[in-house]
Amino acid sequence: MRWTFLTGSPAEAKTEGLAVAVFDDLDFHGLPASKALKAEAERLRFKGAAGEAFFAFNLAGTPSKHLLVVGLGKRDGFRPSCLRAVAALAVRRFRERFLSSAALAFPLGEDTPAVHWSAAEALVEGVLLANERFTRYKTDGSNRFEGLTAVQFFVPKKSGGLEEGGKLGQVLAEATLFARVLVTEPANVLTPERMAEEARKVAKEGGLAVKVLGPKECEKLGMGAYLAVAQGSAHEARFIHMSYRPKGAKFHLGLVGKGLTFDSGGLSLKPADGMGAMKSDMSGSAAVLGAMKAIAVLKPKVAVDAVMAMAENMPGGGAYRPGDVLRAMNGKTIEILNTDAEGRLTLADALTYIQKQKVDAVLDLATLTGACVVALGPDFSGAMGNDQPLLDEVLAAAKESGDEIWQLPLPPAYAKFIKSDVADVANSSRVRWGGALTAGLFLQNFVEEGTPWVHLDIAGPALRDDDGADAYKGEGSGVGVRTLVRFVLGKQG
């Protein structure tokens, strides 16, 4: 898609569609055909709330355009990042009408370079994220509409901040879309081997260092927990390690992404209903790889090492069993109570490995527990960790990125629920409640004292059950990519 920032009258734009926006005070002053639009809004009982929209015709431009009015919500709650969802909504509605070009005339906020930068970033992200659909397996040509090819953003005046912010928005959107495709791909296509190939491509294009370890190399390192999960599948494990080490970096971040390309539950087999969605159990690794793709383009002065422990959890003849005791890379032993609590086993060894890279802090992302979805619903991720300042930084980055993340506790008293009679720790809680928290407490066993660490459970939003703010039903959301990149950009000094 081509995008550009323009001044002048949006009604004169050479586009098929035009979107304008109003707050819930319904002040249409300054908009094309303001009196007619106000009357139409009253007729349709349009309140100007966020997420509301209506079309009006024969009111703007020659020839007339598909004129869309969208709501911005309360004026006093507006900030530039709100434009991401509004722009995405406009694109979605234009796509429904098979338009190929559109103009957007939305308020930006305060007239400062910083605000213009943030607004431009959000606008470009919104239109790019909403414009892409996953159609590669559709054979009916009528289902392969490519969406908008050109978007014009009309602003009161042009500034360098708009162009630079827009460029950053494009980088972040493209990285998020890359992650979305990985998540949406079926598991017969996106295998551990294929994920390793994708990582090699990203590394080659971006000038990153990468190495891929197979089962033999991982066994030499003592990754008994990770390898046990993979041993029931015909697809071998692939442990991916990527590095970005710029000169002059004063902060070194470790990223870990859960990489189950399919999770059947193993011998503790999942119910058939919903098992198809388990192709998305590698969403954490997709977010990490997408973030590394963006980091390679943006080149921040922050060192980043990223690991993805890719595997399939299948009930083959070599599958690990309930009752098994595994030895993790850090030497701790784990009693297996449920083979469907496998992601935390792969993360255990990945966390140990990343800390050996002498990182200053660790962030991990994982579609770890259904309990987190029960607690927070399908739109929110849960955040846990051992360092409140680090958690605060991650939450701040998420707020500006559009990712909805809510902090959850890590109560030490709940460690009793994963106590084992025969090993150092059990991989599953002995009680039903607090599953997201006990999973976090399990992971904490593999974080060394003094290492700041944050765990993000992204099980809810990773794969959309319905349309999200800027992602479509049945597709991966790319959750976490923009939060990770924003966090890295904020650690430059």
Residue 143 — very low, low, confident or very high, per pLDDT cuts 50/70/90?
A: low
**Tell me, what's the pLDDT at 470?**
83
Write out the DSSP string of 190-208.
Answer: S-HHHHHHHHHHHHHHHT-
Q: Is 92 a catalytic residue?
A: no
**Per residue in 355-366, pLDDT tens?**
999 999 999 999
pLDDT at 388: 98
Rounded mean pLDDT of 406-413?
Answer: 98
The band of 458, judged by pLDDT with boundaries at 50, 70 and 90, is very high
334 pLDDT more than 80: yes
Q: How far is C-alpha 434 from the chain's CA centre?
A: 24
Provide the pLDDT for residue 471: 87
Give 386-438 as a 3 state SS string.
CCHHHHHHHHHHHHHHCCCEEECCCCHHHHHHHCCCCCCEECCCCCCCCHHHH
Is the pLDDT at 467 greater than 90? The verdict is no
- Per-residue model confidence (pLDDT) at position 61: 66
For position 4, what pLDDT does the model report?
97
What pLDDT does residue 70 have? 97
Q: Which CATH architecture has domain 177-490?
A: 3-Layer(aba) Sandwich (3.40)
Question: Which among 219, 215, 222, 213 has a CA at the least distance from the CA of 240?
Answer: 213
pLDDT band at 86 (very low <50, low <70, confident <90, very high): very high
pLDDT score for 146: 87
Per-residue model confidence (pLDDT) at position 139: 86
| Residue of 167, 200, 211, 270 marked active site | 270
Give me the pLDDT at residue 62, please.
67
Say if residue 64's pLDDT is above 80. no
Q: In this predicted structure, what is the pLDDT of residue 208? A: 98
Q: Residue 52: phi, psi to the nearest 5?
A: -85, 150
Would the pLDDT of 340 be above 90? yes
Which residues lie closer than 8 Å to 481 by C-beta, 6 or more apart?
172, 175, 176, 179, 287, 290, 291, 294
Q: Is the pLDDT of residue 485 over 70?
A: yes
Q: Is 220 a catalytic residue?
A: no
The answer to which of 323-332, 437-446, 470-479 has the lowest mean pLDDT is 470-479
Is residue 326 scored above 70 in pLDDT? yes
Per-residue pLDDT, averaged over 466-487, amounts to 93
**Is pLDDT above 70 for 186?**
yes
Q: Is 357 exposed, middle or buried (0-12, 13-18, 19+ CB in 10 A)?
A: middle
Selecting among 84, 279, 293, 344, the annotated active-site residue is: 344
2-155: CATH topology is Leucine Aminopeptidase, subunit E; domain 1 (3.40.220)
pLDDT bracket for residue 259 (50, 70, 90): very high
Domain range summary for the chain, segments of one domain joined by +: 2-155, 177-490
Q: Give the model's pLDDT for residue 108.
A: 93
Mean pLDDT of 234-244: 98
pLDDT digits (tens, 9 = 90+) for 110-134: 989 999 999 999 999 999 999 999 9
Most confident of 62-71, 143-152, 327-336: 327-336
Evaluate if residue 30 carries a pLDDT over 90.
no
The pLDDT of residue 318 is: 97
Structure tokens belonging to residue 366? 């994982």
State the chain's mean pLDDT as an integer: 95
Evaluate if residue 60 carries a pLDDT over 80. no
